Amino acid sequence: MHEVSLVESVLDLIQDSARVNGFVRVKKVVLQIGQLANVEPDAMSFCFDSVTRGSIAEGACLELLDSPGVAWCMTCQCSVGIASRTSGCPACGGHTLQVTGGSEMRVKSLEVEY
């Protein structure tokens, strides 16, 4: 379950931000997760509660936002939405796709207390 290491990395980012910005508690974390990022939302939520126990983010609300999968089709030269990396182009059926969006995971926002 790679979600544990992902949440640990998110917690590292939060703690670094707390040192720089001086906040003492995190009330809410909003993560944007791409549809093609191979991240299981339920596992992220479960891991978040476990990993943040005893930290400044303990008890924080976790909100997960989806980003759609997007690719450039080299066959028909169109930007298209895709559900998986193995999807064919919905416009022409081609399989020469370059993923251009939806593979990322990022901390979109934090709600904190000072």
Are the beta carbons of 18 and 56 closer than 8 angstroms?
Answer: yes
What is the side-by-side order of every strand in the sheet holding 97-101? Answer: 78-82, 69-73, 97-101
Please give the pLDDT value at position 101. Answer: 95
Say which CATH number the domain at 67 has: 3.30.2320.80
Query: Can you give the pTM of this predicted structure?
Result: 0.83
Which residue(s) pair with 92 in the sheet?
none
Q: Which residues of 45-58 are buried (b: 16+ CB within 10 A; e: fewer)?
A: eebbeebbeeebbe
pLDDT digits (tens, 9 = 90+) for 50-73: 999 999 999 999 999 999 999 999
Q: Say how many domains are in the chain.
A: 1
pLDDT digits (tens, 9 = 90+) for 67-99: 999 999 999 999 999 999 998 999 999 999 999
Domain span at 44: 3-113
Q: Please identify which residue in the block is written with the tokens 């974390």.
A: 29
pLDDT score at 102? 95
- What's the confidence (pLDDT) of residue 1? 54
